[in-house]
Amino acid sequence: MLNFYSKEFLCGMEKKLIELKNICKSFDGERVLSNVDLYIHDHEFITLLGPSGCGKTTTLRIIGGFETPDEGDLYFEGERINDVPSHRRNVNTVFQRYALFPHLNVYDNIAFGLRIKKVKEAEISERVSEMLALVNLKGFEKRNVSLLSGGQQQRVAIARALINQPEVLLLDEPLAALDLKLRKDMQVELKNIQTKTGITFIYVTHDQEEALSMSDTVVVMADGKIQQIGTPIDIYNEPVNAFVADFIGESNILDGVMIKDFCVKFASHTFDCLDKGFLPNEPVDVVVRPEDVDVVPVEKGMLSGLVTSVTFKGVHYEIIVDIDGFKWMIQSTDYVAPNSIIGVYIEPDAIHIMKKSEYSNMFGDYSTFSDEMEHLSDVTEDEEE
Amino acid sequence: MTGVPPKSNKSRSLLQRYAAAPHIVWSVLFIIVPLIFVAYYAFTDVSTGEFTFANIATFFTKDYLLIFGKSVKLAVIATVICLLLGYPIAYFMTTCKPKTQRILMILIMLPMWMNFLIRTYALMTLLQDTGIINTFLNSMGIDTIHIIGTEGAVVIGMVYDYLPYMILPIYSVMSKMDKSYVEAASDLGCNGFGVLRKVIFPLSLSGVISGITMVFVPSISTFYISQKLGGVDTLLIGDVIEQHYTAANYNMTASLSFVLMMILIVGLAIVNHYTDSDEGGGMLI
């Protein structure tokens, strides 16, 4: 059944499987999606990434058939499916809290979809075993689903969806309830399952690290709008605006002025860069990733500042440096002493220039940054919408 | 947070320890002791006061069994009708907005705020040959339908009086059900009816069982409804018990009550045994 690496799989990446055109949706008068346009290709692992309330889950639920868009069209293989109910769509969903049926055991949960389709019991039994093997749950057939661990329930939910051989699998923050270690393992496992089966995965998460490590394509959303669509590398290296730069990884976002092509001024210093195509003296947002800033002796530095805090992070030190009142984050493998003055050096390719947007100046420097805050904001990231 | 777990008994306050005391005293005085009397009378001879099975055996004679059979029949019919009426409305309520749900809930509870005897009387005036329904039918040119005094009237009375007890436990279980189960079933290919049959019904079974219990038990033991709405051929086991009581035949009253109670306890225990109770909800026993 799982025709891995078939001819279709190898050449199918270009096929548009799902298309969202100008999708809008409001709940109780509040806009949650505005003018969303999105293509999803066959065999793609695409992730909808954004903070809670950004509309990512609503987008997924529209594709799954649990919400109808107020405006716009949804196409599946070229056919408009706005009014097709979820039970007649060839997509299956892994729900955030799994929604395994508590009155059925593992086997019956997984067999559920096939029984609806009146598949013969002998074939069901064969395919359930195949699925249990795929998700590493052999021997769990008779178990009560409510007595399984979170990770095991997760696997049952995936098996229950995949056994129907959908063309698309929708995953709504499937790893959110698991602890960090298990989450990492499941990321690898999910990616393996996707590669093995060749099924298109549409994955919703607020965890940028998860999105970058698993996806072919990342769709960054905020305030009901798509901010950027691209490969993980593009999204990280070439964020389109301050929101994306801030949301994906750590970044120092500064006000700058594009003097001319390949030349930008920020932090009272003129830098060479690789960007062009802006108006002369156009105000811009400048992104410098913490790991791209080199710590050098003061006399060799392009800029210099006072180290206000140093935190050991295992692989590197996280250094906060006050340069002319703007607190930069720098990640360095070399230790520097707090309260010392250091110089910093920035290579032209470490500088990324973005046009000004509605998100400019919304993200300050690292003066209020603390690990504790970061941790807290992760925990309060609740289920959205 | 390591160390010795707190000893719950010792850390309980005086209030916690004795909070149940008033009810325990009540139960002993008005439930346990009377039940001991019932058991005592059930197994003693009227005249001699000696131990006997004769009273109990009377229950299993033909006349009594026929009456008991009729009671079971009417109670089952009433319970089934309550289920057929109650389940859909409970399901409908869960699909409404929270505000609508509260209003519907009040409407369903409203008749229960009125005395049960008064409701039954009200039903009499509706169903009589000269009652409101027939007067209306006559004015429409339709012949009088004789309802009062029939088994049908008794069943209507039972349904009328006990329907809320069917709706409430089913609604309470259904409204707590996670909506994502419904979405999951639909996602896996169930149409609306399939979702109801394969997911909602099995998951609301504990409410159904509890509703059935709460309708069936008072229906099978009622005497008032059958007296007011029934006729000579709708004598139920509750009526017979009441007749023995008013005739001061306490041994027969006790033995019939005792057997009826035993049959109900065994029956309900069997039903509960075959329904998984781990979903919680509205189980009675």
Q: Do A346 and A226 share a structural domain?
A: no
CB nearest B189 (choices: A66, A99, A116): A116
Q: What are the distances in angstroms from CA B189 to CA A124, A206, A364, B185? A: 15, 29, 49, 7
Distance (Å, rounded) from C-alpha A374 to C-alpha B185? 38
Within-domain flag for A384:
no
Task: Express each pLDDT in B199-233 by its tens digit.
Answer: 999 999 989 999 999 999 999 999 989 988 988 88
* Range B113-142 average pLDDT: 88
Distance (Å, rounded) from C-alpha A179 to C-alpha A126? 32
What is residue A14's predicted lDDT score, i.e. its pLDDT?
63
Quick check: B191 contacting A, CB < 8 Å?
Answer: yes
Report the DSSP beta bridge partners of residue A288.
A252, A351
What is residue A369's predicted lDDT score, i.e. its pLDDT?
61
Q: Do A207 and A259 share a structural domain?
A: no
Q: Give kind and range of the element (H or E) at residue B285.
A: none
Low-confidence ranges of chain A (pLDDT < 50): 1-12, 371-385
Q: What are the distances in angstroms from CA A87 to CA A84, A169, A236? A: 8, 14, 37
CB nearest B188 (choices: A66, A92, A146): A92
Distance (Å, rounded) from C-alpha A376 to C-alpha A362? 20
Within-domain flag for A11:
yes
Q: Do A368 and A331 share a structural domain?
A: yes
What is residue A2's predicted lDDT score, i.e. its pLDDT?
44
Looking only at the bridges linking them, the beta strands covering A71-76 and A45-49 are: unpaired
Q: Which residues contact A103 (CB under 8 A, 6 or more apart)?
A: B202, B203, B205, B276, B279
Q: Which of A301, A269, A306, A298 is nearest to A286 (CA)?
A: A269
Within-domain flag for A73:
yes
Ramachandran angles phi, psi of B54, nearest 5°: -60, -45
Q: Do A206 and A141 share a structural domain?
A: yes
What is residue B149's predicted lDDT score, i.e. its pLDDT?
87
- CA-based nearest residue in chain A for residue B190: A87
| Residues B83-88: contacts with CB under 8 Å, at least 24 apart | B83/B166, B83/B208, B83/B211, B83/B212, B83/B215, B85/B159, B85/B163, B85/B166, B86/B163, B86/B166, B86/B167, B86/B170, B86/B211, B87/B166, B87/B170, B87/B208
CB nearest A116 (choices: B178, B190, B205): B190
User: Within a 10 A sphere around the Cβ of B22, how many other Cβ atoms?
Assistant: 9
Radius of gyration of chain B (CA): 24
What is residue B276's predicted lDDT score, i.e. its pLDDT?
55
3-state DSSP assignment of residue A170: strand
Q: Do A198 and A262 share a structural domain?
A: no
CA A27, A31, A35, A37 dihedral sign is: negative
Task: Express each pLDDT in A308-320 by its tens digit.
Answer: 999 998 899 999 9
Counting the structural domains of chain A, the total is 2
Please give, rounded to a whole number of angstroms, the shortest distance from the CA of A106 to a CA of chain B.
15
Q: Domain with A329 in it: what CATH number?
A: 2.40.50.140
Q: Do A63 and A17 share a structural domain?
A: yes
Ranked by mean pLDDT, the top range of A161-175, B141-155, B266-280 is: A161-175
Domain ranges in chain B are: 31-273
Distance (Å, rounded) from C-alpha A86 to C-alpha A68? 10
Q: Do A135 and A218 share a structural domain?
A: yes
A95/B183 touch (CB, cutoff 8 Å), yes or no: yes
A99/B189 touch (CB, cutoff 8 Å), yes or no: no
What is residue A11's predicted lDDT score, i.e. its pLDDT?
45
Task: Express each pLDDT in B240-266 by its tens digit.
Answer: 999 999 998 889 999 999 999 999 999
Residues of B in contact with A91 (CB under 8 A): 187
Task: Express each pLDDT in A299-310 by its tens digit.
Answer: 988 999 999 999
3-state DSSP assignment of residue A305: strand
**Domain extent for A370:** 242-379
* Range B163-177 average pLDDT: 93
Q: What are the distances in angstroms from CA B260 to CA B54, B151, B173? A: 16, 21, 29
Q: Which residues contact A377 (CB under 8 A, 6 or more apart)?
A: none
Q: Are A36 and A20 in contact (CB under 8 A)?
A: yes
When the pLDDT of each residue in chain B is averaged and rounded to a whole number, the result is: 87
Q: Do A252 and A137 share a structural domain?
A: no
Quick check: B98 contacting A, CB < 8 Å?
Answer: no
Looking only at the bridges linking them, the beta strands covering A317-323 and A303-312 are: antiparallel
**What dihedral angle (degrees, nearest 10) is formed by the CA atoms of B36, B40, B46, B48?**
-140
The residue written with tokens 């099978």 in the block is B220
Q: Which residues contact A279 (CB under 8 A, 6 or more apart)?
A: A258
Q: Are A10 and A203 in contact (CB under 8 A)?
A: no
Task: Express each pLDDT in B65-99 by its tens digit.
Answer: 999 999 999 999 999 999 999 999 999 999 899 99
pLDDT above 70 covers what percent of chain B? 92
Q: Domain with A193 in it: what CATH number?
A: 3.40.50.300
Q: Give kind and range of the element (H or E) at residue A366.
A: none
Q: Which of A380, A330, A44, A49 is nearest to A212 (CA)?
A: A49
Residues of B in contact with A124 (CB under 8 A): none
Quick check: B276 contacting A, CB < 8 Å?
Answer: yes
- CA-based nearest residue in chain A for residue B205: A103
What is residue B285's predicted lDDT score, i.e. its pLDDT?
40
Q: Is pLDDT at B102 greater than 90 in this prediction?
A: yes
User: Of A181, A211, A237, which marks where a domain is finished?
Assistant: A237
B203/A146 touch (CB, cutoff 8 Å), yes or no: no
3-state DSSP assignment of residue A221: strand
What is residue B9's predicted lDDT score, i.e. its pLDDT?
53
The count of CB pairs under 8 A between chains A and B is 66
Q: Is A92 exposed, middle or buried (0-12, 13-18, 19+ CB in 10 A)?
A: buried
Superfamily name with CATH number, domain B31-273: MetI-like (1.10.3720.10)
Question: What is the residue-wise DSSP string for A87-118?
Answer: GGSSEEEE-TT----TTSBHHHHHHHHHHHTT
Q: Do A311 and A230 share a structural domain?
A: no
Q: Do A38 and A174 share a structural domain?
A: yes
Distance (Å, rounded) from C-alpha A354 to C-alpha B163? 68
A65/B185 touch (CB, cutoff 8 Å), yes or no: no
A101/B178 touch (CB, cutoff 8 Å), yes or no: no
**What's the half-sphere exposure (Cβ side, CA atoms, 13 Å) at A138?**
5
Q: Are A66 and B182 in contact (CB under 8 A)?
A: no
A87/B191 touch (CB, cutoff 8 Å), yes or no: yes
DSSP code for A86: G
What is residue B268's predicted lDDT score, i.e. its pLDDT?
85
Distance (Å, rounded) from C-alpha B188 to C-alpha B209? 28
Within-domain flag for A1:
no
Residues of B in contact with A164 (CB under 8 A): 188-189
Q: Do A265 and A230 share a structural domain?
A: no
- CA-based nearest residue in chain B for residue A92: B187
CB nearest A95 (choices: B184, B189, B202): B184
Residue type, A321: V
Residue of A101, A104, A146, A164 for testing the chain B interface, max B β-carbons within 10 Å: A101
User: Of A237, A260, A285, which marks where a domain is finished?
Assistant: A237
A99/B180 touch (CB, cutoff 8 Å), yes or no: yes
Within-domain flag for A2:
no
Helix, strand, coil percent content, chain A, rounded in steps of 5: 30, 35, 35
User: Of A195, A220, A237, which marks where a domain is finished?
Assistant: A237
Distance (Å, rounded) from C-alpha B12 to C-alpha A239? 60
3-state DSSP assignment of residue A299: helix
Q: Do A249 and A232 share a structural domain?
A: no
3-state DSSP assignment of residue A201: strand
Residue type, A336: V
Quick check: B189 contacting A, CB < 8 Å?
Answer: yes
Distance (Å, rounded) from C-alpha B44 to C-alpha B54? 8
